[in-house]
Amino acid sequence: MMDNTEQENVRCESCDEQYDASPSTRTNIYKTNPQSIIDDESDGPDELSNPLELTSGLTFSNWEDFRNWIRMFGLKEGFNYKIKTSETIQGVMRSATYECTKSGSHISQAMSDPTKQCNTHFQRTLCHWKLNVAYPKTSSIVKINSFNNVHNHPLISMI
């Protein structure tokens, strides 16, 4: 019979760190490919109720559903986004404007001495992609009001 107080040096396969573990608390650790993860939980539908297509008037039951949709839309289309502005009234977000992370332009703060400047690559390309979404007080849905679905840079789908 094995004594539960004995310690064994265990190496994590995914992060290559070592730690001590007793036989009773040892767990198998495996590297996981994110594309191979399957959600077996039955806490909701497996498919999104809204297609991953950007259309004006598209509605969502709440902000969480919208955030899940836009995250998947960004992965499918191959770009990242950020919230440019948002309006919160009495603790409830009522509207938001999303834009591509490559929107705007880089404002150089370069020094006058070129030998002290670093060679860097700037990500901003003046991209015009934008999406306006609202959650009006008069309704209980989150709705896409308007958008400009034009990028001026290459897109690489992540799904």
Contact 63, 52 (CB under 8 A): no
Q: What is the pTM of this model?
A: 0.58
Give the tens place of pLDDT for each residue, 119-156: 655 677 788 889 999 999 998 999 999 998 888 787 88
**pLDDT for the residue numbered 126:** 82
Distance spanning both ends of the chain, measured CA to CA:
50
Q: What is the pLDDT of residues 74-100, one digit of tens each?
A: 999 888 889 999 999 999 999 999 998
Give how far Cα 117 sits from Cα of 35, 63, 107, Å.
41, 43, 14
Query: In this structure, what token pair is assigned to residue 104?
Result: 């705007």
In this prediction, residue 118 has a pLDDT band, given cuts at 50, 70 and 90, of low
Q: What gap in Å lies between CA 101 and CA 123, rounded to an integer? A: 8
Question: In whole numbers, what is the pLDDT of the chain averaged over residues?
Answer: 70
Alpha helices per DSSP H over the chain: 63-77
Return the higher-pLDDT residue of 46 and 145. Answer: 145
